[in-house]
Structure 1
């Protein structure tokens, strides 16, 4: 029996034969089947022999019997895998792992020819960070998967409040700035998100009685950042709300190289509170998003769908907070 684990997979029949007990008894012990009158001595012997022989449960067979694969498939949009998104994914994965589920990430591409992972893996639930397309909903349901998050048949109130652009504008206006620019990122992969944040910033400016924001998307290069600064300075811009910390850093660096003082001549605020924001000089004011908390919430939401429990209550992780540092300073 010692060479058994090297030649083929150990089965419950092997354990039963080695101990002289029934295969059913071994199955009851290994599956922790409730309602069985099995002595603690027998239970201990079965578990010890399973360890000695190197028994590993056959997950495919177990999934077939239980109707669950204990897999969660997370569909990712084709966004850059930045600091905030990584934190979100890591915490969602950890939350699910602690509950006994594995999370697989998958980025579908419009031109992709590979077989979708929901067909190959048969996950218990498919989760998306953005709304499913009608084509995805049809394809996932045709594969026999009924649990989707967000549920395409329900339009719940979104607990996440995108208040970051409002915090940026309120902060700059509170420091006395009246002519403010919004700097987006020139990246087609995040065009929708850039537009969404820019629109929210414009709405906030209007509600504060500020003029329409000068708006421009820049690349993360000296040339585009310097060109944007020249244009904005020519119309009297004194502060910039940036799409993220990378954009804020590019603009701050370009301003300093152009001889502008930050924040005396131009104030700049970023978004996401990445490590770059506190390591940059001058340190960047920014908006902190609780990416880790949002990831844990996403994991709990997936668990509630799989296990049929009420969805988790939204907490403070759903709101962003302002972090003031040297790049905006204080205006009298």
Structure 2
């Protein structure tokens, strides 16, 4: 399948750094000192490239030596249907989103339920920098230096009960700012909902991201708080999260309800299970073009098989897709 290239988007249409850097004082106070956060993205990328990964980082899956996707492609080629279905819509329209202040409701099977200011929820947990692949079900992929906190540390803070078997995430519903939610052509039952099994949520790879490429998360990439699950397809990594609920029952996720014949609960990257409308055996790494497709073979669990295959031992992965 030919992957449509990002439209040429004027720099003025991409979220200004001055907006998403307003919260950088929190980023520094939370335990990560990113010198030069206001530097151009190419300078930050150069700084990240100069860092040597330890063997332990690579063994745990927190780092890949693959070429990183340029920031300009990461920031302007997105699936974020709350702002529209075109890959360029989030960068065009996400500036309308208000991300400060931000609060997250925690409820369900936890010892410490409540509505937390994002700063309070993350307080005391050091931010980490990890370089993960992100694979989209439409056969394109990126490699992104993410900044965030391991989900298991956040969950420990709110004290899950013994009844907690799943974690459900709910995204922001604010149609006055998110034009895709007020579109009469949308078939999605807003707000967007995703979920993980508890052992998936507790896996060290699962990250709650607050930034990328050494700066705060751009609005079009899910600011200020999103999920990143690197061995699953990108639609699993829900953006702009406002509610986390721990539950005994498997949550009904958005795409599973909308098209169950195409999207299952697990959404694990599996080259042996095709999407009904296209093959999953290959992917196109961004950036690419008609003459340089940058086409590579899809790896099981997106290349994280050593870290996560044990979670699905004995499961029929063609049935539980």
Highest relative contact order (Cα 8 Å, sep 6+), 1 or 2? 2
| Higher relative strand content | 2
For the aligned pair, the TM-score class normalised by the smaller chain equals under 0.3
| Higher relative helix content | 1
Q: TM-score, normalised by structure 1?
A: 0.19
Q: TM-score, normalised by structure 2?
A: 0.20
